[in-house]
Every structure is written in structure tokens, then in C-alpha cells.
């Protein structure tokens, strides 16, 4: 398993928590619970994410778990929030790298970076490919995709390929939606990612990037 995504700091910001842990010991306990939830998610699937099962896996009482995560939906939302935070942190790093080094092929760099997350974060795949996403998680995902689109825009601005306007924001949002759909299909077909489909995604999005940047 990869390094757990939802550490104490990220866990403290999860809006689905019944209450936010204040003490270091409580934050560490919540992190342990979320790590246990991720293990169960990977090994047994979304359906196994019950409060009883997670409490047993984390070796805490159900009552202790209820203080923070009262039901399956809250567990799913907390895990999703951790994955969103990691993806957005990766995007921030890519923006910095683009500004420092410049890229000849930004589409290739971005798709390869996110394919690697799909490849290594088994919990993320298990959650997204399962059937247990809550409406609250889906709404959070829509907002997450807008933040990712903002990151794509910042990459293009750092590379001097566009200017900051509404057209750029709309184009980046469309690119994120397309890339996400293709990446999901690639990893449904093959746990390592269908290389041919990922290459097609790059070809398609390079053409789109060319069309978008030509506007400027």
C-alpha cells in the first residue's frame, strides 16, 4: 500500500467529521482510523466500509469512531477528501515545476503524473470504481475538478501559453473532465493503465491545447 493519504492535518479539515480532533493524540487516532479504512477499502471493497469493521481494523471502540465518523458515508467522504488533497498537492508541485523548468510537452507530463497516482493509489481506484460514492462526495468531486482545472490554467500561464481569462478557465475545465474520463477507462481496463488509451488521451489533449493556445 502507498503512504496513507489522509494524515492528521488533512483529516482535521474533512467537513464530514462529526467533530474536529484538537489534541495530537486524537488526531493520531483519527489518522489511524482512516489508514485502517483505506486498508479495508483496498482489500474488501467499498461495501466493507462499515463503522464496526473499521473500528475493529483500527483497534478502537465503535464509540470512539463515532466521535468523528458516524456512518459509512462519513468514512467515504473522509477518504475522498484525503485523495482530493493529495491530487491537488501534486498539481501545486507541477505548477512550480512548470514555472522553474518549462516543459516542451505539458500534456504528456500532466497525464503521466496523474496516471502514476492511479497506478499507485489503490484506495483511490477502489473508491472511484466502486458503487458507494455519496452525493456529498460527488459534489466535492465536482469542486475538486474545478480546482484541478485552475491548476492546469496556472501551468499554462507559467509556461506563457495563455492569459488568465474566462475562456482559459472553461477550456481547462473541459480538459480535466476529458482527461479524467479517459484515465478512469484506462485503469478499468488494466490496473497499470491501458498504455494505448493513455497515448490516445495525450494525442487528443495535445490537439486541444494547440487549439486553445492558438486563441492567444
Return per-residue pLDDT of the chain as tens, 216 residues. 444 333 334 433 445 565 565 567 777 888 899 999 999 999 999 999 999 999 999 999 999 898 889 999 999 999 999 999 999 999 999 999 999 998 999 999 999 999 999 999 999 999 988 877 889 999 999 999 999 999 999 999 999 999 999 999 999 999 999 999 999 999 999 999 999 999 999 999 999 999 999 998
CA distance 34 to 127: 13
The contacts of residue 30 (CB under 8 Å, 6+ apart) are: 8, 11, 12, 17, 21, 68
**In this predicted structure, what is the pLDDT of residue 164?**
95
Indicate the helix (H) or strand (E) that contains 36.
helix 24-44
**In this predicted structure, what is the pLDDT of residue 29?**
84
**In this predicted structure, what is the pLDDT of residue 18?**
56
**In this predicted structure, what is the pLDDT of residue 107?**
97
* Global confidence as pTM: 0.86
**In this predicted structure, what is the pLDDT of residue 172?**
97
205 touches 197 (CB < 8 A): no
The contacts of residue 196 (CB under 8 Å, 6+ apart) are: none
46 touches 5 (CB < 8 A): no
- Using N-to-C axis directions, what is the helix angle for 195-214 and 166-189, rounded to 10°? 170
Dump the DSSP string for 55-118.
HHHHT--HHHHHTT--SHHHHHHHHHHHHHHHHHHHHHHHHHHHHHH--S-HHHHHHHHHHHHH
**Listed residue (93, 99, 91) closest to 160, CA to CA:** 99
**How many CB atoms neighbour CB 195 within 10 A?**
11
- Using N-to-C axis directions, what is the helix angle for 24-44 and 72-101, rounded to 10°? 100
Domains of the chain as residue ranges with CATH? 8-66 (1.10.10.60), 79-214 (1.10.357.10)
**In this predicted structure, what is the pLDDT of residue 6?**
39
Amino acid at each position: 500500500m502507498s503512504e496513507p493519504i489522509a494524515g492528521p492535518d488533512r483529516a482535521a479539515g474533512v467537513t464530514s467529521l462529526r467533530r474536529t480532533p484538537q489534541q495530537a493524540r486524537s488526531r493520531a487516532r483519527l489518522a489511524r482510523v482512516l489508514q485502517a479504512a483505506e486498508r479495508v477499502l483496498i482489500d474488501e471493497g467499498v461495501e466493507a466500509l462499515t463503522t464496526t469493521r473499521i473500528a475493529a481494523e483500527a483497534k478502537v471502540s465503535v464509540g470512539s469512531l463515532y466521535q468523528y465518523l458516524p456512518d459509512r458515508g462519513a468514512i467515504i467522504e473522509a477518504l475522498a477528501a484525503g485523495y482530493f488533497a493529495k491530487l491537488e498537492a501534486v498539481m501545486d508541485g507541477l505548477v512550480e515545476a512548470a514555472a522553474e523548468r518549462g516543459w516542451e510537452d505539458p500534456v504528456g507530463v500532466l497525464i503521466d503524473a496523474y496516471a502514476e497516482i492511479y497506478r499507485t493509489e489503490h484506495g483511490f481506484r477502489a473508491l472511484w470504481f466502486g458503487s458507494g460514492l455519496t452525493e456529498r462526495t460527488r459534489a466535492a468531486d465536482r469542486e475538486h475538478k474545478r480546482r484541478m482545472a485552475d491548476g492546469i490554467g496556472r501551468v499554462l500561464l507559467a509556461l506563457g501559453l495563455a492569459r488568465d481569462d474566462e475562456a482559459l478557465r472553461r477550456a481547462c475545465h473541459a480538459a480535466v473532465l476529458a482527461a479524467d474520463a479517459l484515465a478512469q477507462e484506462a485503469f478499468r481496463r488494466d490496473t497499470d493503465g491501458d498504455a494505448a488509451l493513455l497515448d490516445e488521451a495525450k494525442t487528443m489533449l495535445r490537439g486541444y491545447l494547440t487549439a486553445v493556445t492558438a486563441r492567444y
